[in-house]
Amino acid sequence: MSFLNTIFYKPYQTQLRVTSANGFHLRPVASFANIAKRFPCRIWASFKNKKADAKNINALLSLSLDTQDCFTLTAQGRKAEEALEALTEQFSFLMQNDPEPYKIQKEKNLYEGSGVEGEIIADGIAVARLHNHSTQEILTENRLGFQDALKESLQELDMLHSLHQTASSGSIYLAQKELLKTLAQTNNTLKDFEDAIADASHSLKGTPIEAKISDYRDLLWRIKKHLGAEEKLILPATPFILVADDLLPGHIEQLTQSQAQGIVLKKTSLRSHTAILLRAAGIPSLIIVRPDDAKYDFISDMVILDAHAGILVYTPSQNDLQKAMERLQKNKSEKKQAQDQRFKKAVTAQGKPIHLFANVSDVKSAKEAKEEGAEGIGLLRSEFLFTQTKPSFEAQVHAYKEIFALFEDITVRTLDIGGDKALPYMQLPYESNPFLGVRGIRLLETHPEILEEQLHAIFIAAQRKPIKIMFPMVARTEEFIQAKAFAYRVAKKYGLDISSIRFGIMIEVPSVLFLLQQFNKVVDFYSVGTNDLNQYLFAIERTHPTLKLDAHSSVLFDALEKIVKEVAKPLSLCGELASNKEAIPKLVALGIETLSVSAKMISTIKEEIRHV
């Protein structure tokens, strides 16, 4: 809609206040702008004499909106009032679902040598020499033009998002992809793109979201990499602790494959995407904002980075070094012991076997689960195939076949999309409370064709293997009966034998707790999703910034006890509680015998079970 057309429409305005402790940063901005793009009217945000197109991620970021900042949102044109209502609801949702990074509690510091304290990004301990950050540009033969390099970068970010969907890092790549698409709309050459990055970085300099400059630089890094000019870190071949002002998110993968024992960053924050990726990688890391205290930068002797106590000891005594090495060896020993026994059964001290399965989201994580000692897949999140582009039937069959070939015992959750997790090619009605709307099995009412194709692909890939299919968000037995009947109609339509397929439900809607006797007559198995069950029990969204859920609530454990006592079919537990070491003794005592956790937690939880 042109500007001239909008003058015939009344403008609608509202005031929005940033309540997230993280400010209005890239990830929520990307989501907000995507909602704005659905409406034909003009929409803009105003703050401190600056105005930004609400459909433009780059423009919105330039407002540098921090916690408690209040800005004006205006919509003018066709469907303006509807747009303002939708964006107000979306903004509220984004603020509620953007929790402040968890601050790790520091252990007591008992070192004799001098040190400098900092914030803990990821805990752990490292003893090594410091290495100062430096990079080099590596030129490779390039036959791509700028537009092709742009397409390659977008595909790379899409792939990274698919690989990390279930981790905190997954949303980073999706937000970066949306930002790159926005920048690409007005920049058609590398020179234009570099200028746009420089302008955007300049506008964020000195603002509360200055750490997001690294995302802009990261996008430029990806483009140039595909143009044959990759910037790589210069790293030693021996163990080291890297000291840098900041790092690009794209550099973290290189660090995970190096001799890096720890990281010290000076100019970043716990909110930064670099910090989030370091936590995901498990590299002991600190933020030490002491630019004038550079005396530890060029020390050639051994130093201690203790990310349990939150300190870099740059003049450690022999006693300090010995103590640090003992802690390091203890950490390694515990990790090695767990790793060495990862393929062994998890049996409690009283001789009770507990089965450990894996939550996976794609072929890569399924292979990782196999290597980490999983007995099977307790939760295959099938959403990994359904990203920005609808997957073909052939792509679905191929992916399922690869995963099914790895294990004998596999549970596939049907597409858990809807409400807050809408896809571009799925037209779902706007909902003011998406967690209580069209989600999971309720898609059978709105998008039966997508579930039909998914079930067809699963049936073809299974090839008479005893796959378990689990329906999410089931609240009544009638819903399960209808879904199973639908699955059988799909099999009949394509002439497929699915006699080996078993069907079950996720227990996550509280109504199921009162219908277990009825469900026992129709389901083949159950899996408890404690994350959603807990939030629905207390009517508190689990990532709300101020209202907190107690993962160890007696009410939740009472609900689990009721479930264990009343179910008459196989039961597993696949929520975050399953990988909570403190909860393991309680879960075992309740009688839960099958847990499904992330691949990286399998060896750790197995070891924990052996001490129960």
Percent of the chain at pLDDT above 70?
88
Which tops the pLDDT comparison, 428 or 450? 450
Instruction: Determine the Cα–Cα distance for residues 60 and 34; give it in Å rounded to an integer.
Output: 12
Mean pLDDT for the stretch of residues 404-426: 75
Q: Which residues are catalytic?
A: 273, 574
pLDDT averaged over every residue in the chain: 85
HEC readout, 162-192: HHCCCCCCHHHHHHHHHHHHHHHCCCCCHHH
User: How would you classify residue 574: left for phi > 0, otherwise alpha for psi between -120 and 50, otherwise beta?
Assistant: alpha
Residues 78-122 pLDDT 10s: 999 999 998 998 898 788 767 666 667 788 888 999 889 999 998
Sheet of 11-17, strands arranged across: 11-17, 70-76, 42-47, 50-53
| 470-471-477 Cα angle (round to 5) | 115
Give 550's contacts (C-beta < 8 A, 6+ positions apart): 556
pLDDT, position 545: 43
pLDDT band at 166 (very low <50, low <70, confident <90, very high): very low
Residues 517-533 pLDDT 10s: 999 999 999 999 988 89
Helices 363-371 + 393-404 axis angle, to 10: 0
**Do 283 and 263 contact (CB within 8 A), yes or no?**
yes
Instruction: Determine the Cα–Cα distance for residues 545 and 14; give it in Å rounded to an integer.
Output: 23
Instruction: Determine the Cα–Cα distance for residues 101 and 169; give it in Å rounded to an integer.
Output: 13
pLDDT, position 73: 95
Phi, then psi, of 134 in degrees rounded to 5:
-155, 155
pLDDT band at 560 (very low <50, low <70, confident <90, very high): very high
| Range among 30-44, 59-73, 313-327, 512-526 with highest mean pLDDT value | 512-526
Instruction: Determine the Cα–Cα distance for residues 79 and 85; give it in Å rounded to an integer.
Output: 10
pLDDT, position 493: 96
Residues written for the chain: 612
Which of 71-85, 136-150, 422-436 shows the lowest per-residue confidence on average (mean pLDDT)?
422-436
Report the run of H or E that residue 224 belongs to, with start and end: helix 213-226
Which residues does residue 12 pair with via DSSP β-bridges, in sequence order? 75
Here the tokens at position 263 are 């990281």
Instruction: Determine the Cα–Cα distance for residues 30 and 179; give it in Å rounded to an integer.
Output: 7
Which tops the pLDDT comparison, 565 or 421? 565
pLDDT, position 291: 43
Which tops the pLDDT comparison, 356 or 141? 356
Nearest to 328 by CA among 343, 346, 308: 308
pLDDT band at 271 (very low <50, low <70, confident <90, very high): confident
> For residue 53, is pLDDT > 50?
yes
Sheet of 115-117, strands arranged across: 115-117, 311-313, 303-306, 125-132, 240-244, 260-265, 285-287, 119-122
Residues 144-159 pLDDT 10s: 888 888 888 888 887 7
pLDDT, position 420: 45
Residues 462-504 pLDDT 10s: 988 999 999 999 999 999 999 999 999 999 999 999 999 999 9
Which amino acid belongs to residue 193? F
**Do 255 and 228 contact (CB within 8 A), yes or no?**
no
